[in-house]
Amino acid sequence: MCNFRLKTFLIPCCALLILAGGVAAQTVSHEEAHRKAEELLKKMTVDEKVGQLNQSSGVTMPFLGSQKPDDLISQGKVGSVLWLIDVKEINRLQHIAVEKTRLHIPILFAFDVIHGYRTVFPVPLAMASSWDPSVEEQAQHLAGQDARAAGIDWTFTPMVDIARDARWGRIVEGAGEDPYLGAAMARAQVKGFQGDTLGPDSVLACVKHFAGYGAADGGRDYDSSYIPEELMENVYLVPFHAAEQAGAGSFMSAYMDLNDVPATGNKWLLTDVLRNDWGFKGFVVSDAFAVGSLTTHGFARDGEDAAYKAASAGVNMDMASQTYTRSLANVVSTSKVNDAQLDALVLPILETKYELGLFEHPYVDESKVETTLTRPEGLALERKVAGRSMVLLKNDNKTLPLAKSVKKIAVIGLLADSKSDIEGGWTVESLFGAPGKSHPVTVLAGIKNKLGPDAQVTYVAGPPMARLYPSLFDMISGARPPAPPTADEVADWLAKTKAAAGDADVVVAVLGELSSMSSESASRATLDLPGIQQQMLETVAATGKPVVLVLENGRPLDIRWAAEHVAAILEAWYPGTEGGNAVADVLFGDVNPGGKLPVSWPRSAGQEPLYYNHNLTHQPEDQPGFTSRYWDLNSKPLYPFGYGLSYTNFKFDHLRLSRKNVKAGEATEVEVEVTNTGAVAGDAVAEVYIHQRAGSASRPVRQLKGFKRVALQPGETQTLKFPLGKDELEFWSPQTKAWGVEPGTFDVWAGEDSTASLHAELVVE
Ligand code: BGC
């Protein structure tokens, strides 16, 4: 339930103080958990079993009909509680479950710890821009440790939906458009949260939204997806499979219809693919209210039919809709779902509770929460991850990095000093409207921190964008939308902007989108800079002063004008708690940017969906005659997938293959040299792409099949090696309906982005 500010609906905290007792629980092996779960299952009634399949809201939401969960818990009708972060309340409810129910089964507490808990890391799209899975793993590990210390056992992360359309608001929550990069980031996040095995110190990951959610028609959130099986197999399912192979303990079924069958009632997805093909042994939770909304889709006749369809498709747990609570026992009594099926739904949930150590150690140690959440290493790691996530899109090579001796800077734009935007969505603050526990550093503050008191920093905000874009919460609660700024107000802001820029040595314009404009239920039909930001940018550029555009946004935006007219552009996304300091590190050269785009950057929304790994058309745009093109726009991206600049330059050379001919199933090794040819140290990302020239199906013009981020001193050369074998060369063919490597010739490229020209040829016999 992203973006719902739930503050007003929060349950008042109970003053009961519960001290956690005893020694930390030991890890329980999967075999032991399985044995214990089976024993427990034998003692359970149908109602108790159905209770474990119910996830109740921990906050009362009268507008959605949800109530305090106390009664249901004491009747043994709740297996999990979500959207609850008050530690005392978590302990209080857990005491009811453990002490007042017949079988003393603890509750699994769940929350969306998407990119940090107290310390907020950059949004997932930003972390993917680091092209460094190890930092995303470290970030999610810290986030998981914080969350577990605060009583959260389960996070609804990672979101691994491929997003090829920047209009879709949830592009910000994933790793972008590419299945290979997405798979690497998915594995890293599962590892970060769960560690090698689930245990008393780890957090259960939940891979979502299974599957195809990112392909929503028109980029409109929740809308239907139509994805042929070959695209599911070769693109959309790839990161899900990677996360499953990495040991993810839970999956979340998506909201939308997939090829006319809602994902939450889709047996092909949830049973045939996930359990039968991949061998998944964990459990599936529906997305919030999604079991109930099977009737809204026109797929289920009524609640009972919805419970039957979801349960028999493979949804173990019903998130928040209470449909299982109301109807599943009836369905079981008619044997439409038999006892063995019911047991199979319950078993993995009980196993997970044993593995997480909840039976031995159900309560939160309240005395340790604040100490854990305020560990200084959290902020240091956040600043590092944020620095690694930024992408330098343009630099005229004289403006950035800025000299620290600069005397007068004009900082322009509402986002420059917005604490509520720099951390992005899905934070505790943005969900609950709980103020002030994390202390985000804005870009304005970061610049001031960097320059100290002697520099003159002038700030012009511009009109509040909230007057143009009311929050979702305001819309839900029926608040009257605020009046948009008047023409006089706009003129006044522009005059102030011009004056500040005219008086400065350099202008830093921090523009983009309010964080609420991306994420759930936040699609956009245009990718323009909202409000009067474009006018502000043109105003500062007209002064002739060097302008650095810093973008804070959750999706690529239409910045064609800026790309031509400003000196430098830094994509910061929503960089997190230390974001402002991290932006200043990059602007002033303490950190050399090394991030790369995880998405193709469109010129305009009209190009969407836009992705680099498309097939060849029979008449590409660069050929004469009838071609695939627009009358009014170049169809290529403004910046290609994998692109990003540095304050130094890199040269890629000596691309070679250890074997130029291999048999199908064998591997070769790609070797490429990368040299830092500039004067400062920096990070290069070597990217390897392939293309299969002919086969049983048309193959994409390029596909990423390897990457590595390396730090290089000036003049330093490193030789990097990448395997190219079955895993990289195979694909799922719509003709054979199977995965396989097909004989033929493959192009291989290595370089700095998806347009790399360094080329070799591989023949598969
Ligand atoms: C979102 C999920 C989220 C869930 C629980 C839903 O509305 O689609 O991504 O995990 O709410 O908050």
pLDDT band of 68, cuts 50, 70, 90: confident
How confident is the model at residue 358, as a pLDDT? 98
Nearest CA to ligand 1 atom 12: 1
Q: Supply 359's token pair.
A: 């039976």
Distance CA 432, CA 40 (A): 36
**Which stretch of DSSP H or E encloses residue 319?**
strand 318-319
Residue 2, token pair as written in the block: 């992203």
- Taking the C-alpha atoms of residue 494 and residue 488, their distance in angstroms, rounded to an integer, is 10
Tens of pLDDT, residues 72-116: 999 999 999 999 999 999 999 999 999 999 999 999 999 999 999
Nearest residue by C-alpha to atom 11 in ligand 1: 1
- If DSSP codes are grouped into helix, strand and coil, which group holds residue 36? helix
Overall average pLDDT of the 360-377 stretch: 94
Please compute the mean of the pLDDT values over residues 189-193 and round it to a whole number. Answer: 98
**Mean pLDDT, residues 55-71 taken together:** 76
Please, are residues 208 and 175 in contact by the beta-carbon 8 Å criterion? no
Question: Is the CB of residue 733 less than 8 Å from the CB of residue 229?
Answer: no
Between the CA atoms of 205, 208, 210 and 211, what dihedral angle is there, to the nearest 10 degrees? -140
> What are the φ and ψ backbone dihedral angles of 589, each rounded to 5 degrees?
80, 10
Confidence tier at 700 by pLDDT (50, 70, 90): very high
Q: Residue 761: how many CB atoms within 10 A of its CB? A: 12
- Element holding 262 (H helix, E strand): strand 261-262
287 is catalytic: yes
Lowest-pLDDT range of 25-34, 51-60, 142-151, 221-230: 25-34
430 Cα: distance to centroid of ligand 1 (angstroms)? 14
pLDDT for residue 23: 42
pLDDT tens per residue across span 243-254 = 999 999 999 999
pLDDT confidence of residue 475: 64
392 beta partners: 570, 645
State which of 112, 157, 427 you would mutate to test the pocket of ligand 1, scoring each by most atoms of that ligand within 8 A of its C-beta: 112
Give ligand 1 pocket residues (Cβ under 6 A). 1-2, 112, 156, 208, 287-288, 520
Q: What is the pLDDT of residue 64?
A: 56
Q: Which of 336, 432, 307, 318 is nearest to 72 (CA)?
A: 318
Tell me the three-class secondary structure of 708-737, residue by residue.
EEEEECCCCEEEEEEEECHHHHCEEECCCC
Enumerate the β-bridge partners of residue 207.
Answer: 251
Q: Which of 156, 172, 317, 319 to mutate to test the pocket of ligand 1 (most atoms within 8 A of CB)?
A: 156
Q: Which of 287, 318, 421, 558 is catalytic?
A: 287
394: β partners: 569
Q: What's the one-letter identity of residue 588?
A: F
Among positive and negative, which fits the CA dihedral 40, 103, 195, 140? positive
Report whether pLDDT(523) > 80: yes
**Banded model confidence at residue 26, pLDDT cuts 50, 70, 90:** confident
Digit-coded pLDDT (tens) for 424-437:
999 988 887 665 68
Vertex 68: Cα angle to 64 and 74 (nearest 5): 135
Contacts (Cβ under 8 Å, ≥6 apart) of 41: 49, 343, 346, 347, 350
Q: Quick one: pLDDT at residue 473? A: 63
CB 58 within 8 A of CB 110: no
CA-CA-CA-CA torsion sign (294, 300, 305, 311): negative
* Helix extents (H) in 545-668: 560-565, 579-587
CA-nearest residue for atom 1, ligand 1, is 1
Q: What is the pLDDT of residue 282?
A: 98
**Beta-carbon count within 10 A of 399 CB:** 16
Question: How far apart (Å, rounded) are the C-alpha atoms in residues 14 and 756?
Answer: 60
Each residue's pLDDT tens digit, 596-618: 999 999 999 999 999 999 999 88
How remote is the CA of residue 432 from the centroid of ligand 1, in Å?
A: 14
Distance (Å) from CA 288 to ligand 1 centroid: 6
| C-alpha to C-alpha distance for 648 and 370, rounded to whole angstroms | 42
- Quick check: 463 and 532 in contact, CB under 8 A? yes
Q: Which of 2, 4, 113 to mutate to test the pocket of ligand 1 (most atoms within 8 A of CB)?
A: 2
Nearest to 208 by CA among 315, 84, 78: 315
* pLDDT exceeds cutoff 80 at 17: no
Q: Residue 219 has what pLDDT?
A: 97
Rounded average pLDDT over 164-187: 98
pLDDT at 9 over 60: no
Question: Is 739:678 a contact under the CB 8 Å cutoff?
Answer: no
Mean pLDDT for all residues in the chain? 93
pLDDT of residue 659: 98
Cis peptide before 439 (omega within 30 of 0): no
- Band the pLDDT of 474: cuts 50, 70, 90: low
pLDDT > 70 in the chain, percent: 93
Contact 203, 148 (CB under 8 A): yes
Report pLDDT digits (tens) over 317-326. Answer: 999 999 999 9
Q: How confident is the model at residue 476 (pLDDT cuts 50, 70, 90)?
A: low
Give the pairing type, strands 257-258 and 261-262.
antiparallel
Q: Which residues contact 256 (CB under 8 A, 6 or more apart)?
A: 212, 213, 216, 222, 223, 224, 225, 262, 263
In whole angstroms, give the CA distance from residue 244 to residue 221: 25
* pLDDT of 471: 66
- The confidence score (pLDDT) of residue 430 equals 82
Q: What is the pLDDT of residue 472?
A: 62
How far is ligand 1, taken at its centre, from the CA of residue 287, in Å? 6
- Residue 24, SS3? coil
Contact (Cβ atoms closer than 8 angstroms) between residue 372 and residue 149:
yes
Of the chain, the percentage scoring pLDDT greater than 90 comes to 88
Task: Give the pLDDT band of residue 3 (cuts 50, 70, 90).
Answer: very low
Output helix, strand, coil percentages for the chain, rounded to the nearest 5.
35, 20, 45
- Torsions phi, psi for 687 (to 5 deg): -120, 135
Average pLDDT over residues 691-700: 98
Query: Is the pLDDT score of 694 beyond 90?
Result: yes
Q: Quickly tell me which residue has 């040269």 as its tokens.
A: 651
Partner residues linked to 732 by β-bridges: 739
Element (H, E) at 386: helix 376-389
Sheet arrangement for strand 206-210: 206-210, 250-253, 283-286
pLDDT at 436: 62
* 47, 243, 258, 273, 314 from 158: Cα distances, Å: 32, 9, 20, 19, 20
Q: What is the pLDDT of residues 291-338, one digit of tens each?
A: 999 999 999 999 999 999 999 999 999 999 999 999 999 999 999 999
254: exposed, middle or buried (C-beta count within 10 Å: 0-12, 13-18, 19+)? buried
Q: What is the mean pLDDT of residues 700-714?
A: 98
In the prediction, which pLDDT does 465 show?
76
- pLDDT at site 67: 66
What's the pLDDT band for 477 if we cut at 50, 70, 90?
A: low
| DSSP letter for each residue of 357-379 | TTTT--S--GGGHHHHHT-HHHH
Strand partners, 512: 552
Within 44-170, residue ranges assigned H as helices are 46-52, 70-74, 87-100, 124-129, 133-149
pLDDT at 60 over 80: no
Average pLDDT over residues 523-540: 96
Question: Cα(1) to centroid of ligand 1, in Å?
Answer: 5
| Residues forming beta bridges with residue 54, ordered by sequence position | 318
pTM for this predicted structure: 0.95
The sign of the CA dihedral 613, 184, 351, 72 is: negative
Q: Rounded to whole angstroms, how far apart are CA atoms 294 and 296?
A: 5
